[in-house]
Structures are given as structure tokens and as C-alpha cells.
Amino acid sequence: MKKTLLALSLFATTAFAEPTEGMGRYSFGPNTPESLACSIAEEKAKEAAILNKVGEIVELMEYQTCDSEYCDHKRDFVNNITGIIRSIIDSKVETIIEEGKRTCIVTIKADVYPMKNDISFYIHNENFNFKHDEEIVFRGVSSHVGRVILFNQDRGTYTKIYETTVEHPGYEFQIPDDNHKIVAKVPEDSHISQERLLFLFLGVDISVKDEYNHKELQRLLESVPVLKRRTIYQLTQIVR
């Protein structure tokens, strides 16, 4: 089955705001480390700060899924915030308990610079909940030639799981795309595991290590021109 990207259109709103403040929050249970919850809240705060500054771009991705006889035309809307944070002026992290759940709240003030990125990058799996020992395949589309690297975040460590190359923009790529397998695993002492994945698109040829801590990963991203990269963070759950 083949998927082809047919068109890309941009529709912008004019939600400009003077303050470049952003707040992100994430509620979590006993199976999620607080460091992971707060890193998710931090990313939400950064997105909110950019959104407050530059508004929101809604990207329409149209593609066809074809078998030997029929083609199904699909349309997906993706929220695409375009801007970069040049520096974080102030930040506050707190963990509270509300309605019996712990919630990490991150508030930042940032220097945000609006910028247009022509790279469209999309992972279109419908479900990110997996069973223990289940074989996993991710599918996506990119509008540009480049590399796609999949990382798994475990607390403050990002481990490279797989890397593939997009040679045909607009056509579906698959992770993994050869004889390799990615299998979902729950730690031996747990029945459920919540993890976060990072899909990183790079339009430049640079060396990427097998493992990064949070600060090292941020330095890696900052070393790549913002118009040559895209990132997608995806929370997943694995159960026995």
C-alpha cells in the first residue's frame, strides 16, 4: 500500500500577543517519572510561548492511500507552530496535587522569534498504545529529502532507536524500513510503561550520537538551522 502526498496548503490565524509567556502542564500517575512529566510540561510551555507570539499555522496535508484497485483520498490537519525560542529569560517549575493526581506546571518567559519553515513532517499512526512484545511500525510523510531519527526518552536520557532516510519527498516512509524490528517492552517490575518518543527530521548531514541527556539534545537541536529540522514528540503507553 502506497501513500502519496498531493498538496500542502497553509492557513494562518492572526492571534498575536505582546507577552512571550507560556505555561505548560502535565498530569501524571505513579507509572510516569516526575522528570518525564516536567519535560513534557516544559515543551508545552515553549509551544505556548511561541503560539502567543506568532499565532498558529494550520497545515493541510492531502495524500492518497492506494492498493491495486482503489485509491482513498485523505486529508489531515496538523497544528504547526512556526517560531524559535532564542533564549528563556525566566522559568518556574512546580508540582501540585489536584483531584488526586500530581501535575507538573512549567511557566516560562522567552525571547521568541517568528520564522517560517517550509518542511512538512508528519507521523500518521492512528494509535500509540502498544502491548508488551508487540512489533511496532511507524509511518510518516515528509515534504523534503532528509534523515528521520527515532529516539526514546527514559527520564532524562534520549536513546536512538532507529534512523532512516527520506529519499522520495511526498511518499510514505516507514520505521523500520528493512529487516529490523522494533518491539514494545515493559520493564520486568511493571505492568504498564508510559514513554515518550522523539521523531527528529534533519535536512543536514551531521553526526548523531546513540545517546543524549536533555542538555546535550538541546545543543544538538540548536546546532541545526531551524529551517533544516523538525521535531515531533509523541507520548506512548505499553501494557502487558
Residues 139 and 240 occupy one common structural domain: yes
Q: Which of 71, 86, 116 is the last residue of a domain?
A: 116
For 141, the grid coordinates are 510523510
For 146, the grid coordinates are 532528509
Closest CA to 195 of 235, 232, 157, 159: 235
Residues 123 and 240 occupy one common structural domain: yes
Site of grid cell 524559535: 84
Residues 71, 60: Cα–Cα separation, whole Å: 19
Residues 103 and 168 occupy one common structural domain: no
Residues 122 and 17 occupy one common structural domain: no
**Cβ 86 vs Cβ 114: under 8 Å:** no
CATH number at residue 211: 2.60.40.2550
What pLDDT is stored for residue 74 in this prediction? Answer: 46
Residues 122 and 231 occupy one common structural domain: yes
Residues 72 and 17 occupy one common structural domain: yes
Residues 55 and 136 occupy one common structural domain: no
Range of the domain at 111: 1-116
Per-residue pLDDT of the chain (240 residues; tens, 9 = 90+): 444 443 333 333 334 445 589 999 998 888 788 888 898 899 889 888 888 887 655 444 444 444 545 555 444 444 455 677 888 899 999 999 987 889 999 999 998 887 777 888 888 888 889 999 999 999 999 999 999 999 998 877 899 999 999 999 888 899 998 888 999 998 888 888 888 899 999 999 999 999 999 889 988 988 888 788 888 888 888 998
Residues 106 and 150 occupy one common structural domain: no
Q: What is the count of structural domains for the chain?
A: 2
Residues 139, 142, 145, 150: what is their CA dihedral angle, to the nearest 10 degrees?
-50
Q: Which of 116, 142, 161 is the last residue of a domain?
A: 116
Q: How far apart are the first and last CA of the chain?
A: 30
Single pTM value for the model: 0.67
Residues 69 and 47 occupy one common structural domain: yes
